[in-house]
Amino acid sequence: MIGRTASRLINWLRAPFAWTIYRDTGVWRYLENSVTGQRMAVKTCRAGQPLMLDWLRDGDKVIDRSGRVIIGGREWKAQW
């Protein structure tokens, strides 16, 4: 039986490789990590399209074309 510490270590090692594409709209690519449950939206082109704000949660990341990372929270949803 694997101990709690060993189990956490295995999950920590798996997390960077557990990203799966939830939806690709052509402008935004929505990804979800199956180990940690974190969600991320990455802008893939210059065209304009609104974010799926109902899918994103507090603490999720939004990455725009310039590479800026915006950590999600209640206050940032007002500006999108």
Q: Is 77 exposed, middle or buried (0-12, 13-18, 19+ CB in 10 A)?
A: middle
What is the pTM assigned to this prediction? 0.72
**Reported confidence tier of residue 32, pLDDT bands at 50, 70, 90:** very high
User: What is the average pLDDT across 34-55?
Assistant: 88
The pLDDT score that the predictor gives to residue 29 is 94
Please compute, for residue 53, the number of CA atoms within 13 A of its CA located in the half-sphere on the CB side.
Answer: 10
pLDDT higher than 90, residue 24:
yes
